[in-house]
Amino acid sequence: MAAAASYEQAYAAWQSDPQGWWAAAAEGLEWDQRWDRVFDASIGPYGRWFVGGRLNTCFNALDRHVRDGRGEQVALIWDSAMVGRVERFTYADLLARTEKMAGALAARGVGAGDRVVIYMPMVPEAAIAMLACARIGAVHSVVFGGFAAAELAARIADAKPKVIVSASCGLEPGRVVKYKPLLDAAIGLSPHKPDRCLILQRAQARADLTPGRDEDLTEAMAAAAPHPCVPVAATDPLYILYTSGTTGRPKGVVRDNGGHAVALWNSMRMIYGLDAGDVFWTASDVGWVVGHSYIVYAPLLRGCTSVMYEGKPVGTPDAGAFWRVIADHKVKVLFTAPTAMRAIKQQDPEGARTRDYDLSSLEALYLAGERCDPPTATWAAELLGKPVVDHWWQTETGWAITAGFRQYGLFPFRPGSGGRPCPGHDLHALDDDGHVLPRGQSGNLSIRLPLPPGCAPTLWQNEEGYRTAYLSDFPGWYRTGDAGVVDEAGDVWVMGRTDDIINVAGHRLSTGSMEEVLASHPDVAECAVVGAKDELKGQAPIGLVVLKAGVSRPEADVARELVALVRERIGPVAAFKDARVVARLPKTRSGKILRATIRKLADGEVPVVPATIEDPAALEEVSAALQR
Ligand code: COA
Ligand code: AMP
């Protein structure tokens, strides 16, 4: 692909006229009403984009492509390794189904601004439900299937949906995950109850429907009248996506309609080098931000073909699964988490399975979701003989903060680096007092306000929470929560979180919320959960617990109960499998548990023992427990 300009030119063009740059990008979409102001700094925690503009995200993702002659192009390929089936939906098909789903929601009283929770596995109806919400101006909140009932309940309680769209079951290797009992339990736990639940009945486990509340989704869609697009304000919310914060309470990250559509539409060519008609496969889950942005919205906004894969990189049926999908659907760019590559590498270190498939369509592999260890990036690059691009972002930003840019020509491969700041992001490492550090020095990676379009303008009904979480530490800056370095060349190296968020198999989790669960066990006096390096998943949580005085039950029994409790309250996705009993936890003299020190020990490093430690022997005990 010919480079439109160099990265330096593009970045400089954005820097010299940020509003002009984004206004030009916004021309790629169709607006019902143009914006009055490209950016208005006076609204919200740091300002809002495309104020006064009106558009419909679903119209831009579906209707206009059909109108412009792409109706017969495949929009979505659903490839399920779990049921051994492939279904292709043209833009015309996807539009027809979305119109019906929108009609079904509207018939149940859902209108602009109402919330709809979507709790679904990787089935086309999940994407259709998202687009249907966008179509009628409703706000969706997708909840990942690997969460337990209590997590779902917390999201229902906060978002207060009128309707929940769900399925009878999800499919994990070797087990059918029945969603309905989880959904029923969550609705029972939540003080807010939805009016209706629309349930997709899957053949692997049909669900009993609750009379008066639940309805069969397929029947509801069949009976519905197609619903047209409802234009909304660019600043109206498109969705809420809950993500782990530093407390047990998840944060409701809000995405608006206008800025989101502009940023994602623009990113498809600028970052991934893709255009209408190209096949893009993001191997993630619609429950995560990567799935929202790059399985559903961005590829459709650009008129691409998006692959939605229900399966794993290994075991469904083997380590050749990803190569099979690339060959079968002629995927041009694959985007996945490093964990997926590590899983394949572990089972097929020589990459022999690539020889069974024609991978000639593949032009690049993009990685994100967690730090990619250089050996894995190098392995993938050598195996595929294609560029491997690591790019760094977060649920809050909705698209990449740093990346490599196929439109401008990729940077030389530097495994371990997340690339350079995307135009739109003025990124620097700050010291703890908020001063910009010289290049090459490690600090708090922070973005000078305003954030670009597509980034969260606020948290759901919690503007103050947004300010406290991201803006108050360094006035004028958004604190990403990641530590890292911007080096002399401008490459960014992300080292890890500065808070208690961990990344397990590319899944963002809070150790604080796991601690809350452990502390609720009747035998536990106090506890600490830290993320330790894991060969496959990047990080894995380890819980250290001190039992209450007088508890004489076998430690192994308590540990087993704690593992079960985290699975029950947070869900299997927490991958909490390791609880160890210790006599005491190392603390400072003021009583603060030395989590950072414990984390280093768990990673097999020799920590610098803080001068404020109260009882050094406690550290030795924890060290011994971690080596058990
Ligand atoms: N619904 C229900 N349960 C789910 C689930 C879902 N959507 N997703 C995961 N789980 C369960 C798994 O079955 C597993 O359960 P188990 O403890 O009974 O085995 C548990 O949650 C942990 O899942 P995970 O950490 O993913 O481990 P795994 O062993 O099942 O799979 C990999 C390992 C590497 C194959 C898998 O993590 C993977 O494909 N990772 C890619 C990462 C990715 O796509 N990240 C998205 C962000 S970009
Ligand atoms: P999530 O909100 O689930 O996307 O998780 C965001 C967090 O994942 C970031 O704050 C980082 O800690 C981590 N992360 C995501 N992508 C990368 C990357 N490419 N390199 C390093 N860390 C990453």
- 417: CA distance to ligand 2 center in Å? 13
Which residues sit opposite 141 in a β-bridge?
Answer: 117
Cα(381)–Cα(628) distance, rounded to whole angstroms? 37
Residues 477 and 581 reside in one and the same domain: no
- DSSP labels, 371-393: PPPHHHHHHHHHHH-S-EEE-B-
Q: Name the residue with the closest Cα to ligand 2, atom 1.
A: 394
244 confidence band (pLDDT: 50, 70, 90) = confident
Cα(446)–Cα(466) distance, rounded to whole angstroms? 15
For residue 313 and ligand 1, the question of a CB distance below 6 A is answered with: yes
Q: Is residue 498 part of a domain?
A: no
Residues 479 and 509 reside in one and the same domain: no
Residues 590 and 517 reside in one and the same domain: yes
Atom of ligand 2 nearest to the CA of 418: 19
Taking a C-beta distance cutoff of 8 angstroms, is the pair 120, 165 a contact?
Answer: yes
Angstrom CA distances, 513 to 149, 219, 374, 551, stand at: 15, 39, 30, 24
Judged by its nearest atom, the ligand closest to the C-alpha of residue 313 is 1
pLDDT tens-digit readout, 479-515: 999 999 999 999 999 999 999 899 999 999 999 999 9
Judged by its nearest atom, the ligand closest to the C-alpha of residue 243 is 2
Q: Is residue 355 part of a domain?
A: no
Say yes or no to pLDDT of 3 above 90.
Answer: no
CATH of the domain at 441: 3.40.50.12780
Say yes or no to pLDDT of 524 above 90.
Answer: yes
For residue 343 and ligand 1, the question of a CB distance below 6 A is answered with: yes
Q: Is residue 401 part of a domain?
A: yes
Judged by its nearest atom, the ligand closest to the C-alpha of residue 570 is 1
Q: Note the pLDDT of residue 607.
A: 87
Residues 473 and 511 reside in one and the same domain: no
Atom of ligand 2 nearest to the CA of 290: 4
Q: Note the pLDDT of residue 250.
A: 86
Say yes or no to pLDDT of 570 above 70.
Answer: yes
Q: Name the residue with the closest Cα to ligand 2, atom 9.
A: 394
Residues 200 and 75 reside in one and the same domain: yes
Cα(273)–Cα(547) distance, rounded to whole angstroms? 55
Model-level pTM greater than 0.85?
yes
Atom of ligand 2 nearest to the CA of 392: 19
Q: What percent of the chain clears pLDDT 70, i.e. is strictly above it?
A: 99
Q: Tally the domains of the chain.
A: 2
Cα(333)–Cα(189) distance, rounded to whole angstroms? 42
Residues 477 and 599 reside in one and the same domain: no
> 33: helix, coil or strand?
strand
Atom of ligand 1 nearest to the CA of 177: 2
Residues 451 and 517 reside in one and the same domain: no
Q: Before 457, cis peptide (omega within 30)?
A: no
Mean pLDDT across 387-405 = 98
Atom of ligand 1 nearest to the CA of 290: 48
Q: Name the residue with the closest Cα to ligand 2, atom 19.
A: 392
- 540: CA distance to ligand 1 center in Å? 12
- 421: CA distance to ligand 2 center in Å? 14
CATH of the domain at 533: 3.30.300.30
Say yes or no to pLDDT of 606 above 90.
Answer: no
Mean pLDDT across 340-348 = 98
Q: Name the residue with the closest Cα to ligand 2, atom 13.
A: 370
Residues 28 and 118 reside in one and the same domain: yes
Say yes or no to pLDDT of 4 above 60.
Answer: no
Judged by its nearest atom, the ligand closest to the C-alpha of residue 338 is 1
- 599: CA distance to ligand 2 center in Å? 18
Q: What percent of the chain clears pLDDT 90, i.e. is strictly above it?
A: 95
For residue 284 and ligand 1, the question of a CB distance below 6 A is answered with: yes
Q: Note the pLDDT of residue 627.
A: 87
pLDDT tens-digit readout, 148-195: 999 999 999 999 999 999 999 999 999 999 999 999 999 999 999 999
Q: Note the pLDDT of residue 249.
A: 78
Cα(514)–Cα(541) distance, rounded to whole angstroms? 9
Q: Is residue 365 part of a domain?
A: no
Atom of ligand 1 nearest to the CA of 121: 7
Cα(90)–Cα(66) distance, rounded to whole angstroms? 9
Angstrom CA distances, 264 to 15, 231, 298, 392, stand at: 19, 19, 5, 15
Atom of ligand 1 nearest to the CA of 343: 34
Say yes or no to pLDDT of 121 above 80.
Answer: yes
Mean pLDDT across 512-540 = 96
Taking a C-beta distance cutoff of 8 angstroms, is the pair 97, 226 a contact?
Answer: no
Kindly report the backbone phi and psi dihedral angles of residue 338, in degrees, each rounded to the nearest multiple of 5, phi listed first. Answer: -50, -35
- DSSP labels, 479-492: EEEEEEEE-TTS-E
- 336: CA distance to ligand 1 center in Å? 13
Mutate which of 292, 390, 573, 576 for ligand 1? The one with the most ligand atoms within 8 Å of its CB, which is 573
- 573: CA distance to ligand 1 center in Å? 6
Residues 189 and 223 reside in one and the same domain: yes
- Strand stretches in 317-462, DSSP E: 333-336, 364-367, 388-390, 402-403, 420-421, 427-430, 442-448
Say yes or no to pLDDT of 1 above 60.
Answer: no
pLDDT tens-digit readout, 72-119: 999 999 999 999 999 999 999 999 999 999 999 999 999 999 999 999
Q: Note the pLDDT of residue 561.
A: 98
Judged by its nearest atom, the ligand closest to the C-alpha of residue 339 is 1
Tokens in use for 382? 């050598």
Residues 468 and 525 reside in one and the same domain: no
Atom of ligand 1 nearest to the CA of 536: 34
Q: Which domain holds residue 516?
A: 505-627
- Measured from CB, residues less than 6 Å from any atom of ligand 2 are 243, 289, 368-371, 390-395, 418, 481-482, 494, 497, 503, 508
Q: Is residue 449 part of a domain?
A: yes
User: Which of 415, 449, 484 finishes a domain?
Assistant: 484
Mean pLDDT across 54-67 = 99
pLDDT tens-digit readout, 359-371: 999 999 999 999 9
Atom of ligand 1 nearest to the CA of 173: 13
For residue 337 and ligand 1, the question of a CB distance below 6 A is answered with: yes
Q: Is residue 329 part of a domain?
A: no
Judged by its nearest atom, the ligand closest to the C-alpha of residue 144 is 1
Mutate which of 292, 310, 312, 347 for ligand 1? The one with the most ligand atoms within 8 Å of its CB, which is 312
- Strand stretches in 41-174, DSSP E: 48-51, 54-55, 74-80, 85-90, 115-119, 139-142, 163-167, 169-172
Q: Is residue 361 part of a domain?
A: no
Judged by its nearest atom, the ligand closest to the C-alpha of residue 391 is 2
248 confidence band (pLDDT: 50, 70, 90) = low
Taking a C-beta distance cutoff of 8 angstroms, is the pair 183, 197 a contact?
Answer: yes
pLDDT tens-digit readout, 608-619: 888 889 988 999
Mean of the per-residue pLDDT values of the chain: 96
Mean pLDDT across 285-307 = 98
Residues 184 and 108 reside in one and the same domain: yes
- 29: CA distance to ligand 1 center in Å? 36
Residues 178 and 282 reside in one and the same domain: yes
- 395: CA distance to ligand 2 center in Å? 8
Q: Is residue 469 part of a domain?
A: yes
